[in-house]
Amino acid sequence: MKKYECETCGYIYDPEAGDPDSGIAPGTAFEDLPDDWVCPLCGVGKDDFKPVDE
């Protein structure tokens, strides 16, 4: 699964880790995050994330 980077603060969403503090289980793809999920560091929405080229 692809990682996504917040264009505002540089936070990397890693699907293997999920976002436990927001109730997102490990193994949750970025595309499967709820529409109201926000960056845990700066609070912007999913629209401000871009795929990370690995």
Annotated binding site for Fe cation: 6, 9, 39, 42
* DSSP 8-state code for residue 18: -
Paired tokens of 37: 């999920």
The residue whose two tokens read 């193994």 is 27
- Nearest CA-CA partner of 34 in 26, 20, 45: 45
| Residue positions forming the annotated binding site | 6, 9, 39, 42
